[in-house]
Structure 1
Amino acid sequence: MSGLALSNVTKEFGSFTAVNNVDITVPHGTFVCLLGPSGCGKTTLLRMIAGLDLPTSGAIKLDGDDITRVPTHKRNLGMVFQSLALFPHLTVGENIAYPLRIRGVAKEEQKKRVDELLAMIHLSGYSDRPVSKLSGGQRQRVAIARALSISPKLFLLDEPLSALDAKLREAMQVELRQLQQKLGITTIVVTHDQREAMTMADTVVVMNKGEIRQAASPIEIYRRPADTFVADFIGSTNLLEAEAKAGAVTVLGQPVSGISLGSASKATLSVRPEDVHLTAPGNGALSGTVTFVRDLGGTIETFVDVAGRQIVAVSTPRARPDVTVGQPVGVTLLPDVCVVLSK
């Protein structure tokens, strides 16, 4: 199967463009996270894929079939909303079986499918339990099982884990990813949680102002961001101004060696905090002064002022730098970890 393909998809609400000329292909069986700040267009894009909103222009195809204007109930997809939208007056089993019942599936087949799904989500024996008696994580599993009951071609989730506490959310991220891998179903999740996207996705699609800024694997997004927005939005980074003159490169006005800006005379360097090394001043390092040290248990953050700009270095407790506030230090930037960004 070819999977999902969006071509030049745009959605306008009056004079406001919520999604602008989006092109993306999602191969069959891929797990994709739409990631971005509030209002970036990710939920609108998901709703168009689901058929809840019609594109102003462009086409949406699923396995080669144009579904741009096919009604939602004929798209063979499962969807989990942020609110879960479970029926409070129905039991767990009745909630999961509901999509099958309205499709006229025989009761024996409904029960068989419900039992299969309950075993898959580790809730065997919960079929007759009222939904109101479930925990947040259990309700989440039931909503997922209900969406999967019809064996959809496409599985869509709109910030499904946002209402859970941090520990349960991380556990559910792993469970959801393992379930998707077991079923091999094409899955698209909307999230604003970077850790969630990095944990679950084969492909992360970073959006801003209705446009896709980068679509790539989590490690590619993190290590090779396409622009300053992606670099700054994904994780923590140091964005440093660099300039090339007469064959020499300066960073924050200080000369450095080994770094090339290519054909650009000015650029921004993205350097992750874990790639910043603190040394003694001199020897080609940027000169700075320690302004703050923060011990977070698993990591140590050291804040250094370099020419009025703050650079953050992160280390493990075992590799903790022997520095104190007010101490002059050198900041070493290794060329292979400096990502040159033109915008």
Structure 2
Amino acid sequence: MSGLAINDITKNFGDFAAVDNVSLSVPHGTFVCLLGPSGCGKTTLLRMIAGLEEPTGGAIVLDGDNITAVPTHKRNLGMVFQSLALFPHLSVGENIAYALRIRGRAKEEQRKRVEELLALIHLPGFADRPVAKLSGGQRQRVAIARALALSPKLFLLDEPLSALDAKLREDMQVELRQLQQRLGITTVVVTHDQREAMTMADLVVVMGKGKILQAAPPIEIYRKPADAFVADFIGITNLLPIEADSAGRVTVLGTTVPGLALPAGMDKASLSIRPEDVSITAPREGALVGTVSFVRDLGGTIETFVEAGGTTIIAVATPRERPNVSVGQSVGVVLPPESCVVLKQ
């Protein structure tokens, strides 16, 4: 199989399972984001793929070869750490060429490869520049180029953008994704930033308590979360209690909502609906009735917070669709059935 296969991987630290029987198939050229809260096992999984941690059980296969017991330096992978770990006493070119030099490659080959990579990361002519004179974004690019110097089969990054300021981080997300698409290299990134995962990934893998909770394309994770944890972790959502009465009518916070249904055999569940799918109207039949508690104008969007049945519901609209409401006003909250996802409690 071409690509990366993780088969029933487990990593125990004493009695604690940091990674618990995880399996994942990553086709060649796929950009994967391992996403989850601190302690969910994503970094431990990445370190096992890199050969920096030995699995307790299971196997890691790269392009059909079992690399579980192969030392890190023989796995043909490039890795960028959170700290970047650039050599401060070396120039940009010397940092990029480091892996080539220790493998005895000719100086002319090193020079040509450095020039190729500097052009690739949009830093031509920087070979002799001291690393200490670079900006944060430039250092990030140099770390990426150094990891790619040996044309690895697999590219691993451990929260590589977390130290950058918000604007630069957004720019680097796009640059990194475009670079990966040009190279067609299988890439695995660890992040806790949902926006980062949504921007870069072909496949988002949401982890919790050492397990994979859902692995799917970003828009599927966002629109069809597997459970309440995934729904709440990816972006912003409204999680509301939903139940069916004896007549089969479905209610949300005590209000019957036409068009909603619960799966067979289920009388209680959670409903997930994204704020951009919620509409604010005058109180009317079929809408939840609540009171506006806060309105936040962010320029590009307007967030309206409504207290209904002891729960806060958030609705998001564009300036053109801005609801004409004020704090303290009674309003109706419309939940379109086609935008609602019913989740097991």
Same topology, TM > 0.5 = yes
* Secondary structure of residue in 2 paired with 1:235: coil
Which deviations, in whole Å up to 9, do the C-alpha atoms of 1:320-339 show, x marking residues without a partner?
A: 10111111111111110000
Please say which of residues 66-75 and 276-285 is displaced more in the overlay.
276-285
How far does the alpha carbon of each residue in 1:170-198 deviate from its partner, in whole angstroms, 9 at most, with x for none?
Answer: 11111110100000000000011111110
Note the alpha carbon deviations across 1:270-321, whole angstroms, 9 max, x for none. Answer: 0000100111112211111111111111111111111111111111111110
**Which position in structure 2 is the counterpart of 1:12?**
12
Written as runs of structure 1 = structure 2, the 5 A alignment for 1:20-99 is: 20-99=20-99
Give the Cα separation in 1 of the matches to 2:308 and 2:78: 52
**Runs of 4+ in structure 1 displaced over 3 angstroms?**
none
Residue equivalent to 2:155:
155
Whole-angstrom distance in 1 between the partners of 2:311 and 2:322: 22
**Which one-letter code corresponds to 2:146 in the other structure?**
R
Following superposition, the deviation at residue 138 of structure 1 comes to 0.6
Task: Tell me what 1:243 maps to.
Answer: 243
1:186 corresponds in structure 2 to: 186
Q: Provide Cα deviations, 1:84-133, integer angstroms capped at 9, x if missing partner.
A: 01111111111100101111111111111110000111111110111111
TM-score if structure 2 supplies the norm length? 0.98
The question of 1:102 aligning with 2:102 is answered yes
Task: Provide the rounded CA distance (Å) in 1 between the counterparts of 2:81 and 2:309.
Answer: 48
One-letter amino acid of the structure 2 residue matched with residue 341 of structure 1: L
SS, match of residue 85 in structure 1: coil
Contact in 1 for aligned 2:213/2:230 (Cα 8 Å): yes
Counterpart residue identity of residue 291, structure 1: S
| SS of residue matched to 1:213 | strand
CA displacement, residues 32-91 of structure 1 (integer Å, 9 cap, x when unaligned):
000111111110000000000010001100011100110000000000000001111111
**Aligned pair 1:116/2:131, yes or no?**
no
2:58 aligns to what SS in structure 1? strand
Gaps spanning 5+ residues in structure 1: where? none
**Partner amino acid for 1:309?**
T
Identity of aligned residues (%): 77
State the partner residue of 2:325. 323
Q: What residue identity is the alignment partner of 1:112?
A: K
Partners of 2:293 and 2:87 in 1: how far apart? 55
Residue 134 of structure 1 pairs with residue 134 of structure 2? yes
Distance 2:215 2:75 in 1: 25
SS across alignment from 1:25 = strand
User: Counterparts of 1:246-257 in structure 2 under 5 Å?
Assistant: 246-257=247-258
Give 1:159-308 correspondences, 5 Å limit.
159-245=159-245, 246-263=247-264, 264-308=266-310
Distance in 2 of aligned mates of 1:88 and 1:306: 57
The residue type equivalent to 2:173 in the other structure is Q
Partner SS state of residue 147, structure 2: helix
The alignment partner of 1:137 has SS state of helix
Partners in 2 of 1:205 and 1:190 — Cα distance?
Answer: 10
Higher mean alpha-carbon deviation, 138-147 vs 246-255, is at 246-255
* Counterpart-to-counterpart distance in 2, 1:321 and 1:21: 48
Tell whether the 8 Å contact from 2:156 to 2:189 is kept in structure 1 after alignment: yes
Distance 2:122 2:256 in 1: 59
- Secondary structure of the 1:145 match is helix
Do the aligned residues in 1 keep the contact of 2:294 with 2:306 (CA within 8 Å)?
yes
Q: How many residues align?
A: 343
Distance 2:29 2:295 in 1: 45
Alignment partner of 1:331: what SS? strand
Structure 1, 293-302 or 26-35: larger mean CA deviation: 293-302
**Do 2:255 and 2:286's aligned partners in 1 also have CA atoms closer than 8 Å?**
no
Hey, what's the Cα distance between the residues in 2 that align with 1:328 and 1:64?
Answer: 62
Aligned-partner Cα distance in 2 for 1:42–1:23: 13
Q: Distance in 2 between matches of 1:337 and 1:79?
A: 40
C-alpha distance in 1, partners of 2:212/2:74? 28
Q: Quick one: distance in 2 between partners of 1:279 and 1:153?
A: 54
TM-score by length of 1: 0.99
Taking only aligned residues, the RMSD between alpha carbons, in angstroms, comes to 0.8
